[in-house]
Structure 1
């Protein structure tokens, strides 16, 4: 799944907590949602997001992208549940966490009437834990036995320990084939709550249609195998959790009660679409770029302005920002004296390989001329923004409905 169009792509209400979409479901509702995903037969990744995971995602761009594109993120710790409640500014949202062991048991119980088949995939050893405490074959056998004792009619179609490292593409394909051959609709991924566990769930969901759940240390808890760490390590983890929780709650409060102006909303749209270059054509004095920076956009900005006086103001504003460049061009289709420069002629000057481009234009109805002038690079323009609302759609693009900024903001269909 992709976060580019959240209202259409996400079947459940979400709130943003430090930039991550959380679905604040009560435990029973969470289990029911997982069962519905499994019955649908679609590939989906479900992530339990505690305070530590969300704080780590704030520092790890790859993990942040993983969680933003997930089918379902559930608040797995008290801090995450309360942060989601603050971010959603809804006292009716449940301030309770979805506890991994309970989610596993509740889902197994709720899925019996559907005849769901389960696959259990263990994780490796946490480098911060005691030696030998990973979820190995013995623990998986104990977990399987525990499930069958509680629910004898449960079908555990397969169980295997994880390698404790990132799988290669061939290993991942082989694992997806084993899951497919087992007929499992739910794959439980346990072990240390690391970023790799979440990435594994997402990559397997793309390889084979089933529901993959990253549930952290739920296996060890159910098997009563959680190690008792030395006092020093317990203190270190406690302090880390406090720091992460404090940072998360501040971010949630800022998101809920901070500025909600159009720049902030636009900066969030750019982040969701993974835009890393904004091309501000007709940049005037640079107020647009300043607004994006204040709203939190951290990617590159290239401002284009042909008028010398305005360009001087731009250069002064951009002087202290190494990711903001100013160039003396106007964009267009290159036709006639007022046609401006074609974007394909300036492509290597303004862009870097692999950058996802968003173009802001000051002239209403100028989108077609820009795209014509982009030539073979037209499909590299992830999004467009022009003054005022457009009466007619731009071919290949969809407008962001009622986004609050007044201008037309469009994103390429299927391209984000």
Structure 2
């Protein structure tokens, strides 16, 4: 889930309390006022944070609804800001109105505030003659219209470089070289513009992982500041209008699905599973199937295999699973196979329960049995990405780390990395 807490590579001052986030269509938004958003970016940059910041309009939500990978990226972002009227209305904390964060205003407000801190800026995705430029102008910031416009407005601003974004087929070496140029420029705020909102969001997250700076996916801010939002052909304007209506409709549908699913522990757990790309849940000691029913209501659509050795609850499980093609039931108890109550080893049932390439999450109803289950998984223990059980234990199994549990009293563990 998104947290307005900087990612850093070294020690820093303790961060201020993170502002609350509001979930909107599966994506956490931080409802900051425009001026507060600019101050937050300057503060992150002054701390030396590695942070990806995303302006989320209805087109962003429409793209994320079609692309689960983009939605996961936004859920793990440092900061998501509501950039459209629809997201701003949906992000009202406690019903209070929230102003949308308009990209051009955020850029200008941040450049003005950054002057006092002496922070440099880098512009990625600059356009020339209506298309992405083909040549970098790093080291010659006055050669770009946008740079010139910023310096006219704020003569004390420091624009350290400007260049196009790499193309969609750019290699890892190309991205690494770009991150190196940003590092050499000394810029602490990197603004990403140009065409394609999804392309901007992915670039911000990718670069934040390569070099610590604040990377802002700024939407159409470059063109609007430069006066580039010129009236085009009537047909092109009509197409943009149709696309905007479709994006808004998709956003409303996604927001409605979120409201129907509601909150609560199963919703939070389903979100954790989606973030970890889990596509198979093994429910050991499934009883009558309430756990799986809760996951399904919360939106989990991956496969489930329930294990229940007792005949009566297993009969109920089979009736519930009969109408769900992604849910199967096996008549075993899982364990390390030692002694009469040791249960069946998971490695002996592995090929009956799993398919190649699936990412596993195991839920155990019996508390404290994580170690015996992992022992019974044998060579497949490393395939268990996450574990959930009831009760307390002294510490997580080797290689696992605990995450905040969505259900009080539960223990949720994920494999490190």
Matched, 1:222 2:225: yes
- 8 Å Cα contact 2:261/2:299 also seen in 1: no
Q: TM-score, normalised by structure 1?
A: 0.86
**Residue in structure 2 matching 1:203, options 206, 223, 239:** 206
Distance 2:394 2:414 in 1: 15
**Residue in structure 1 matching 2:87, options 63, 77, 80:** 80
Q: CA deviation at 1:254?
A: 5.3
Q: CA deviation at 1:177?
A: 1.3
CA deviations on 1:222-250 (whole Å, 9 max, x unpaired) are 11112434434434433433343344345
CA RMSD of aligned residues (A): 2.8
**Residue in structure 1 matching 2:181, options 178, 182, 185:** 178
**Structure 1 399/80 Cα, relative in aligned 2: closer, same or farther at 3 Å?**
closer
CA deviations on 1:183-227 (whole Å, 9 max, x unpaired) are 111111111133122111111111111111111111111111124
1:120 is matched with 123
1:128 is matched with none
- 8 Å Cα contact 2:53/2:215 also seen in 1: yes
**Structure 1 160/260 Cα, relative in aligned 2: closer, same or farther at 3 Å?**
closer
Distance 1:191 1:66 in 2: 19
Q: TM-score, normalised by structure 2?
A: 0.86
- 8 Å Cα contact 2:281/2:363 also seen in 1: yes
1:394 is matched with 396
2:95 is matched with 91
List gaps (5 residues or longer) in structure 1: 126-131
CA deviations on 1:314-359 (whole Å, 9 max, x unpaired) are 3343234332232232210111122112223333443334433221
1:411 is matched with 413
2:74 is matched with 67
- 8 Å Cα contact 2:321/2:329 also seen in 1: yes
Corresponding pairs, count: 400
List gaps (5 residues or longer) in structure 2: 8-16
**Structure 1 258/237 Cα, relative in aligned 2: closer, same or farther at 3 Å?**
same
CA deviations on 1:251-306 (whole Å, 9 max, x unpaired) are 43554575434323322332233322211112233332122112211122111223
Choose 33-42 or 340-349, whichever is displaced more.
Answer: 340-349
- 8 Å Cα contact 2:285/2:308 also seen in 1: yes
Distance 2:329 2:189 in 1: 52
Runs of 4+ in 1 over 6 A off after TM superposition: 4-10, 137-140
